Each structure stands twice: as C-alpha cells, then as structure tokens.
A and B are shown apart, each in its own frame.
Chain A
C-alpha cells in the first residue's frame, strides 16, 4: 500500500507547479489516467466530487486525493476494456463499413451528448 501511495504522490507532484501540495482541478483527469486508469468522464466527475473541498476552490489537495486514489488503485477500478472491444467500438461507429471513420465523424460522435 505504501508503494501505491508513493506512486500517487509522485504523479501528483509532477502536476503540482508550486510545491504546495495542490493541483488544478482540471489536471486530476490527467493524473488519474497516467496512473493507469481508464475512467469515463462520468466516473471522473464522481471521483472529483469525492476529492473536492466543500466549496470548490478550483484546487485539489493531496491529502484528500491520496486516500480516494489509493482505493481506486487497490480496487482496480476503471480498468481498461480489452483492445478487441475497442475495435468493435470503432466498427460500431463505422456505419458504412468502410474500415475507417473520418476525423469529422469521430469528433461529432465524441462531442455529442
């Protein structure tokens, strides 16, 4: 567990510009993902609500982040879905079955509600 915590602290500190044990809330996604997790946006929001202050300041403190993230890693939440499923996903979007989707289409799918 100590090892997991050290990893989390390291990743956190890479984004901690001021050495103040806080990071911008917008960087949490990058930190979580670089630790090997694949959360969806929704899952990320849920996580954020657990680590934010009662009155969100735009900054997340390490002391709040650490326990939550440790649990995430130990429980192996947000594991990646295997690559062949990813392939299926692309195929599902490829309506015309031509083996590719254009950038515009992808952007459209990803940004739609």
Chain B
C-alpha cells in the first residue's frame, strides 16, 4: 500500500505545515498587537500632554490675580507716574457710552482708496457680498478697515435686539447645523461650508462660540460669521464663547492678530469688537428641546435668570466688574441729574483700609483632583472676590442707586440679583466642563466655571423639559463626543487643533426628529498623505514630537525647582538619581498629572544602569533655547515660566495696542515682577536684557519681539 503510505505521509506533512502556519500566524499576531498597543499608548500620552499643558496655561490666570494682588498689598507708588502705571493695570479699558462709541469708532471718515482691490461692502448686506468676502479671503485679501468697522457697528445694532437665549425651530428650515469651536481656523470654516453648504433660508446654522484666538484668521472668521448673521438673521445664530472676551484675547492671540493686520485702525476695531462680543447671545434653544451653550452648566444654572440679565454688562467675565454701559442705566443717571464722571481709577492708591489679600497656599498636585479642586476653589474664589471688592469700592454705591432707580421707574417685579450672581451664571455657561462623577465642583483647572456631573445634567433637562445639551469648549479627537449617557454632546470644529493630525473637526445636523447626524473632517492636505499610523486617525510620531517639545520647554522653565527636588533624593550629592525618583520629583514640581514613567524614554535620552545624571540632563534641555547665555539663568527661567502672564501684562499696559511700550514702562514692569518673583534684578540687569536682545526701537520696546526671543528652538536631530 505504497500509495496509502504516501497519502499518510502527505497528510502528515500538510498537517505539520498548517500547524506551522498557525504558529507563525500567532507569532506575527503577537508582535503586531504589541506594536499597535504601543502606538495607542503613545497616542494617549501625547493627547494627555497637550491637554494638561493647555489647561495648566489657563491656570496662569490665577497667577495673574496673585500678581495684581501682590501689587495691591506691597507696592506703594512713590510717584504719580508709578501710580498711573499701576492703575493702568486695573483698568483694562474704559467702557463707552453709545454716542462716544460711535464717535470713537467712526468709520465714515475713513477713505477707501481707489487702489483698494478687496471687497466693498454696502449695507444692508446681500448674499453677493458674502460670496465676495469668501472669495477674497481665499485669495488672502484683507477687508478695508472702514468696512470692518461698519460691519461691526451693524452687527452690534442687530445683536442688541436679540434676547439672551436664541430660539430656533426646525419646522422652518428642516435641518439645523451646529458647529463648535473654530479658534481662528478659517480653513475649517471653508471646509464646513463646502461640505454642508452656505447659510441660506433653507440652511440654518448655530455657531457655538470660541470663534477667535489661537488660530491665525480669527478676524476673518468673525467677518464671515457676522456677514452671514446680518444677511440671514433668522437662520444664523451665534453663541458667546469664553474666548469672546477681551482679557482672554489679550493672552491668546486675537488682540495681537488684529493689531498686526490693521496697524492704524486696529485699536478701534478691537474696541468695537469688545462691544460686539458682550452683546452676543448666551445660549440657543432648538425646538425648546435642545439647549446649546458653549461651556456647560452648573448646579446653580437658572435659565430664567439667564434670560433676564443684561448680558452686555459683562465685557469680560474674568475681570469681574466692569463699569456699567447699559443704556438704561445711563438714561437713569441723566434723569437723576447726575453727570457721568469717570471715576478715579480704582486701586490707584493702595488703601490700607482694604481687606488683606488672602495668601494662597502651595497648590497640591493636579493628579489628586479632589485636593486640588478644594485648594483652587478656595484660592480662585478668594482672589476673584477680592479683586472684585477692590474694583467695586468706588462703584458699589452707584449700583444700589441705579438699581433702585430702575426699580422705581420701570417694572416693579423685576428681581434684583447681585452682580456676582449674574456673573457666576455667565461664567458657568461659558467655562464649565462635564465630568463623569456625580455632583458639581469648581473648575480648578480653568480657573472659572464648574465641573458638572450627570446628575446636574439630568436635573436641568428635567426642569426645563429638554432632551439633551450641546456644548463645545473641549477638543475631542473625533471632533465630537457624547457623555452623561448621551445627554451631553461636545462638538468641536477646529481640526488639527494641537498639531497637524491631532484631531478631526466635526459638525452636527439636527432635523425635526432631533436625532444628531455627524460629519467629520480634517483640514490639511498634508494630513492626508501621512503613513500607516494615520489609519489610527492620529500620526503619532509627528504630533508626539510637538507635544514633547512643549513639555521640554515646561521642564526647562522649572529648572531650579527641579534641581532642588532632585537634590532631595540625592543626599550624598552624587549627581545621580534613580529613574523612579526622577518621575516622582518631576510630578511634584510640574503638577501636570502625567504618566512620567511612560514618557521617560522620550524625555531622557540615555541612562546608565537605571540612574540619571540630572544636571547634564537639565543642561541638555537648556541647550535647546536660543542663545541667551549672557542672561542670568534664573531670570531666563522666570521668563519662560511666566511668558504668558508677562505677555498679558504688557498688552494691558500697551493701551494703544501698538506692540510697543516705553522703556520706562518695561523697566517698571520688570521691577515689580522681579520683586514679586523674588529675583534679584538690578537696573543693570534690566538694561542688559534690553541690550542683549536688541529690540529697542527709539526708546520703545517691541515686546512681541522680546517674547519671541524666549521660545525653545525646534530640536534638530
């Protein structure tokens, strides 16, 4: 049975072969899955880095409060010049009466030269104007300042008539499209219009805030949105976001963008925009069933209150009280025979009778969220209250007077809420974030608003008979995300927000059935040509590099603190510590809540036997910054660590938004800052600073250039 044998042999052979194949397949699978898992881990770590740095930056606001309060406490102006200087930090801008505003931001006198080739607008606007604008912006043209101001005036007039909560109905225009944060990324807006169509009588849009800051075309986005708002007032709805706020704009780039694009009229434009932002509606309601707000809600959110407050009083929610601008109050005052006098800048004299600034204690690590939240809730509330009380001093009387006048002259059943309660309502709506745990606690990371849990959501939905909430405010990798049992939808429309390839943008469409349909996109040609890793939706290596660069800069900015922390683990002064101690030390200094052991291979190049020579590691980090060897290293650190706050302070001082401050003002700022930071900085030291970077422009200092000099250079491998 020779053939039988060979059949047997064949059978055995093929069995062996398939067994081998199976083993081989399993092996390959093992390797492949490990590769994928590692990629996933890297992706998540990168995301965490970006997020924690982004939110930690928002904590800078708290530091700024500290600095201002420090000034109040410790600084006695020795000359009127100094007093003026200080007082300027506390008035971020005068509020204008209607007539003054018109006069100041007048556009009619602006001549448009014949040589101007950009779009020319006439009012009332027509759809052709919109298409002309879109086309012009695609060609990178700029709209003449006259038209910008005109547009802003008309927009403001229109917005003033709108209620705090816009109402949209799906029976008129079958579908409503809701878009989230755009943050100056005009390409994304173009993509949305391309995929979804322009706004029209049959195409309704709701834009949920954060149109500006961070991206480079914030102004263009505003122009486009406002244009469509005026052409299709029934179909286009805008919600205010936390970035529609002057104080935030000073820090995050919008103010800078406007001044760079409009050197002569930029200041007027910014002023107008301030007065447009405060008139933006706070929320939108679709079919009385879906509530759209930018940030979120809190357990004290009261829609009835929100409907009734005078939203325009709050030019910037972060600064607390602003001088009242509402027309009604002005009228009352005139009726009462008062002349509106510009009150003395509050805080210009350090008043010893003021309540002592509560000293914030050391912040616990961000990783322990509960403790951290308790600390910040205390600190932030104290600071805000204190700053408000300070600014309130000269105005508290005014307020009572006016309110009582209002009550007596108008409807008697109008409830009197305190300014603080109203401010909190708006703050919560614009700054809050959802959290998975139940309850409601202060949003410590951002410094404003709350973290709200599913129970808070449930209560609000039930109270007002709503189906779900739509909000934005947080970047999501897929452009959208549900939480709270699908009762809260986050929609984010700025793709590649952290870095090219970091995330998709998305918009959501709702029909009369109120079932959400999503469309995702990613605006960037290069993003499409990425390799296999892109199938994960996230080109890990590219984005990772960006994240780590930011992280390294942060590490550098804390060099001295890190050295102290390392030394604590290196009692024998060997210059080395274990990697484990390294991780603990770094977290204790930076408070970012990041998985340092996971990130270590990317941050620490080489280690011998599990020990790290920390001094040389820190030196390597320092090598990456531009050649500022002659600047004292501790000073350098301070600059890096506080760059964002320094920038904000400079911009506040630079009232005419020229990008320049006088040498004297620069000098003053440094003296104050260095004493607050406990750094020795002599006059010579400051002069050295100025000279070495050579940004002196006839006695004025271009602080943009100054700040640019302090950025880590891209590490070339």
Contact = CB atoms under 8 A, between A and B. Distances in A.
Given A14-B45, A30-B40, A109-B21, A89 B436 contact: no
Interface in A5-51: 6-7, 10-11, 13-15, 17-20, 29-34, 37-41
Contacts of B596: 10
Size category of the binding interface on chain B: 20 to 34
B595 A14 contact: yes
Given A6-B583, A39-B30, A112 B25 contact: yes
Interface string A70-98: 00000000001100011011101100000
B21 A93 contact: yes
B101 to A, nearest CB: 47
A113 to B, nearest CB: 9
B369 interface: yes
Interface stretch (B31-39, B148-156, B701-709): B31-39
A106 interface: yes
B26 A6 contact: no
Contact of B37 (A13, A30, A80): A30
Interface string B15-33: 0000011011111111111
Given A10-B597, A19-B369, A38 B28 contact: no
B40 A7 contact: no
Interface residues of A, number: 37
A112 B23 CA distance: 12
Contacts of B595: 10-11, 13-14
A45 to B, nearest CB: 13
B64 to A, nearest CB: 28
B37 to A, nearest CB: 3
Contact of A92 (B21, B32, B34, B41): B21
B41 A34 contact: yes
Contact of A85 (B27, B29, B598): B27
Contacts of B120: none
Contact of B38 (A2, A34, A40, A89): A34
A89 B27 contact: yes
Contact of A33 (B26, B38, B437): B38
A18 B437 contact: yes
A107 to B, nearest CB: 10
Given A2-B580, A80-B34, 15 more contacts: A10-B595, A10-B598, A11-B598, A13-B595, A15-B44, A18-B436, A20-B437, A34-B598, A38-B30, A38-B31, A39-B30, A80-B31, A89-B25, A92-B24, A106-B28
Interface of A: 2-3, 6-7, 10-11, 13-15, 17-20, 29-34, 37-41, 80-81, 85-86, 88-90, 92-93, 106, 109-110, 112
22 contacts: A3-B580, A7-B598, A14-B41, A14-B598, A19-B369, A30-B37, A30-B40, A32-B37, A33-B33, A33-B37, A34-B38, A37-B34, A38-B31, A40-B26, A40-B30, A80-B30, A85-B27, A86-B27, A86-B31, A89-B24, A93-B28, A110-B25
The 3 closest A-B pairs by CB, nearest first: A33-B37, A89-B24, A34-B41
